[in-house]
């Protein structure tokens, strides 16, 4: 039992509480005294509780009223600073700043199945607004035990409105960023596309995925959409004119290695890539994703004579005046090598090149030797993937044992398969004075242009330019001639190698050219897959009738865009720069 005397020494007692004086009249009634004591103790406890509560209230008051920030943060969530939350992926633009890929916020529809009351009714109503949903799948989703299921992502605002109007309980929207490609098919293979969760899956989106996620600065490509459009339109035209299976093309700045346009047809809409494109059968949709320019390996046929001739001229085993036998066929193993449109006489090197003589080329290569040939192709980067920041890259296919038969066929572009990008890069080096630069899909500032490595001498490059000009003047590519732009190049027509043998009626025609040939600035490589001759081409489907005229049209359209002024090709300076001494004054026989 407590007494006042026992409380008194407590040092923690409140000040206002004074114990009864010791001299107070002693209450006779022990019970009354005890009751009083208990009462006092309870009051003390209650007072303590109140003190604590008021203290808390006071502190909270100070916190809420006087200290700034805490409350404001609660009321204004996520609005500091007043800028749009950064997109999850940076924009991609072309070299002139045209928007090729950007992000837009779109609503996505999800459901909490536990809140859905009538699943059957909900399925009926939702499919009436979103008819492409599978009712059975949707029903399974809405009756599942989960608390979150996606119903459809990336709705249009109109669809969102319609769903809202249905008023189905348990359906919710979430804003999600969606990658949008305003130019659609135009740059499909270059820019690539993203998964629904914004992971880069193809093209630049994949190659620069990290950079696009981390930095918000737009990625500026070297592509010029205007040039890209011209290239794509002309390739489409050649496909429809010659009922071809596909086509590909690339336009490159030979001085910097920047790729100005790159098209592979048929292509796809990156807004609905691959299997998401329901308008096409799955196999077809998948085939369209294939980038012929970077990922395809092809035998380029006679266009390889550029490398063969450059190799022999640079090594010094051939000179422009040397004559080669184009009379006698070459027999090797069970094969006999002849010329397509043989001249059946001795041909000089310019003639071998201009008339595209397989025999002459083979003999030039044999003279130089297989080791030299292989080393030269390796130096041009034709035996390994192209050094470019891109994921879909072809690994060249070439014989592991470089036998004599291989030397012969590789001289005229058979038995070795490389991507169009390989050829474009290597030919750029041949015509630009002999400097091999890695290609770039990103716009380069003048000080970013790589120094490159010398692969052939300036003299060989000059000679090669003259030879390539000759092909357009007198050889197989006469339809490429456009007054003012001094185009030069080399055609190639290869029979397609299917299941180990060559199909005579399945051709692949290609042309690689550059302009202006007196001082090349741009290279145009075009290729068409399985063209069929038509009336206008007199039934021919060779390069000279398909891709060559197209290249002329392309050059005529893109040169003003790219700022290449036309020149007078009959002016003494250009005639002198483009004429071979060995042919000077001679009448050149046309192909």
Partner 1 sequence: MTRLAAAFWVLLVLASGFTTFMVKYAVQGIEEQLYRVRKQTIAEQQEIRVLTAEWAYLNKPERLADLNRRFLGLVPVTPHQLEGRIDQIAFRAPTVPPVMPERMVASAAALAPAPPIPAAAMPRAPAPVAIVTAANPPATPPAAAASAATVDPLDALIAQVEANGLEAPNPAGAPQGAAPQTAHAASHSPLDALLTLIEPATASAAPIAAAPPQPPLRLAKVSPPPRSLSALIARVAGKP
Query: For binding to partner 1 (CB under 8 A), which residues are involved?
Result: 65-66, 68, 72, 75-76, 79, 82-84, 98-100, 102-105, 180, 182-184, 186, 225-226, 228-229, 233, 482-485, 556-557, 559-560, 565-566, 568, 571-573
Least Å distance between CB 151 and partner 1?
A: 24
Contact status, residue 332 vs residue 408, Cβ threshold 8 Å: yes
Residue among 238, 261, 355, 391 nearest 590 (CA): 355
Convert 116-146 to b/e letters by CB count within 10 Å (16 or more is b).
beebeebbebbeebbeebeeeebbebbeeee
CB closer to partner 1 out of 69 and 131: 69
Least Å distance between CB 310 and partner 1?
A: 29
- Provide DSSP, 122-156: HHHHHHHHSTTS-HHHHHHHHTSS-S-EEEESS--
CB closer to partner 1 out of 183 and 290: 183
Residue 334 token pair: 């069970």
CB closer to partner 1 out of 130 and 180: 180
**Alpha-carbon distance 194 to 475, whole Å?**
46
**3 state DSSP class of 556:** helix
Residue among 422, 433, 333, 429 nearest 383 (CA): 422
Residue 265 token pair: 């047809």
Least Å distance between CB 392 and partner 1?
A: 24
Greatest C-alpha distance within the chain: 150
CB closer to partner 1 out of 12 and 83: 83
**What residues have CB less than 8 Å from 39, skipping those under 6 apart?**
none
Q: Dihedral angle at the C-alpha atoms of 260, 264, 266, 270, nearest 10 degrees?
A: -60
Least Å distance between CB 221 and partner 1?
A: 14
Residue 261's CB is within 10 A of a number of other CB atoms, namely: 28
Q: What is the DSSP letter of 65?
A: I
CB closer to partner 1 out of 99 and 320: 99
CB closer to partner 1 out of 101 and 430: 101
Least Å distance between CB 286 and partner 1?
A: 24
Give the sign of the dihedral formed by CA 549, CA 553, CA 554, CA 556.
positive
CB closer to partner 1 out of 27 and 561: 561
* Helix axes of 420-431 and 458-473: crossing angle, nearest 10 degrees: 110
CB closer to partner 1 out of 346 and 573: 573
Least Å distance between CB 233 and partner 1?
A: 8
CB closer to partner 1 out of 53 and 104: 104
**Alpha-carbon distance 22 to 20, whole Å?**
6
Give the sign of the dihedral formed by CA 576, CA 578, CA 582, CA 584.
negative
Least Å distance between CB 447 and partner 1?
A: 21
**What residues have CB less than 8 Å from 293, skipping those under 6 apart?**
189, 248, 249, 250, 262, 263, 264, 419, 420, 421
**Alpha-carbon distance 78 to 64, whole Å?**
20
Least Å distance between CB 17 and partner 1?
A: 25
Chain center to CA of 560: 26
CB closer to partner 1 out of 38 and 72: 72
**Among this protein's residues, is 582 annotated catalytic?**
no
Q: Which entry of 108, 222, 264, 302 is annotated as an active-site residue?
A: 302
Residue among 242, 243, 261 nearest 251 (CA): 261
Residue among 371, 420, 349, 391 nearest 583 (CA): 349
* Helix axes of 370-379 and 305-315: crossing angle, nearest 10 degrees: 110
Least Å distance between CB 132 and partner 1?
A: 23
Least Å distance between CB 557 and partner 1?
A: 5
* Residues noted as catalytic: 302
């Amino acid at each position: 039992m407590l007494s006042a005397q026992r409380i008194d020494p407590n040092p923690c007692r409140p000040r206002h509480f004074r114990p009864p004086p010791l001299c107070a009249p002693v209450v006779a009634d022990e019970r009354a005294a005890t009751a009083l004591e208990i009462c006092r103790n309870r009051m003390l406890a209650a007072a303590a509780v109140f003190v604590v509560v008021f203290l808390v209230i006071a502190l909270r008051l100070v916190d809420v009223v006087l200290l700034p920030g805490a409350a404001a943060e609660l009321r204004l969530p996520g609005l500091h600073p007043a800028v749009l939350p950064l997109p999850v992926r940076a924009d991609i633009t072309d070299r002139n700043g045209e928007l090729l890929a950007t992000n837009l916020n779109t609503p996505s529809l999800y459901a909490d199945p536990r809140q859905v009351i009538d699943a059957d009714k909900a399925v009926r109503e939702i499919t009436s607004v979103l008819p492409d949903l599978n009712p059975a799948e949707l029903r399974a989703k809405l009756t599942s035990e989960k608390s979150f299921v996606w119903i459809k992502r990336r709705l249009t605002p109109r669809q969102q409105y319609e769903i809202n109007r249905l008023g189905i309980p348990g359906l919710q929207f979430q804003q999600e960023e969606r990658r949008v490609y305003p130019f659609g098919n135009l740059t499909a293979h270059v820019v690539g596309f993203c998964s629904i969760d914004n992971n880069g899956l193809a093209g630049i989106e994949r190659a620069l995925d990290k950079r696009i996620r981390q930095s918000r600065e737009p990625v500026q490509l070297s592509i010029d959409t205007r040039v890209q459009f011209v290239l794509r339109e002309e390739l489409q035209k050649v496909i429809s004119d010659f009922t071809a299976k596909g086509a590909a093309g690339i336009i490159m700045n030979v001085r910097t290695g920047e790729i100005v346009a790159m098209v592979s047809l048929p292509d796809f809409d990156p807004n609905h890539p691959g299997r998401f494109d329901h308008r096409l059968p799955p196999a077809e949709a998948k085939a369209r994703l294939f980038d012929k320019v970077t990922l395809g390996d092809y035998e380029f046929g006679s266009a390889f004579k550029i490398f063969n001739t450059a190799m022999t001229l640079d090594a010094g085993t051939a000179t422009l005046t040397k004559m080669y036998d184009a009379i006698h066929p070459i027999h090797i193993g069970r094969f006999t090598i002849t010329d397509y449109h043989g001249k059946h006489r001795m041909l000089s090197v310019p003639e071998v090149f201009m008339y595209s003589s397989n025999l002459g080329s083979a003999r030039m290569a044999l003279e130089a030797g297989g080791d030299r040939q292989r080393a030269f192709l390796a130096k041009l980067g034709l035996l390994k993937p192209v050094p470019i920041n891109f994921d879909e890259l072809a690994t060249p296919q070439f014989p592991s044992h470089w036998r004599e038969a291989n030397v012969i066929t590789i001289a005229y572009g058979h038995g070795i398969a490389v991507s169009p990008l390989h050829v474009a890069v290597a030919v750029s080096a041949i015509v630009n004075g002999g400097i091999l630069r890695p290609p770039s899909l990103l716009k380069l500032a003048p000080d970013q242009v790589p120094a490159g490595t010398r692969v052939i001498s300036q003299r060989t490059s000059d000679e090669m330019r003259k030879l390539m000009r000759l092909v357009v003047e007198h050889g197989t590519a006469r339809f490429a001639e456009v007054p003012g732009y001094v185009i030069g190049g080399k055609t190639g027509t290869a029979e397609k190698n299917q299941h180990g043998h060559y199909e005579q009626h399945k051709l692949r025609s290609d042309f690689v050219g550059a302009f202006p040939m007196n001082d090349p600035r741009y290279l145009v490589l075009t290729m068409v897959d399985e063209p069929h001759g038509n009336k206008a081409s007199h039934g021919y489907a060779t390069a000279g009738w398909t891709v060559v005229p197209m290249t002329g049209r392309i050059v005529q359209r893109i040169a003003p865009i790219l700022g290449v002024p036309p020149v007078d090709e009959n002016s003494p300076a250009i005639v002198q720069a483009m004429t071979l001494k060995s042919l000077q004054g001679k009448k050149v026989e046309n192909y």
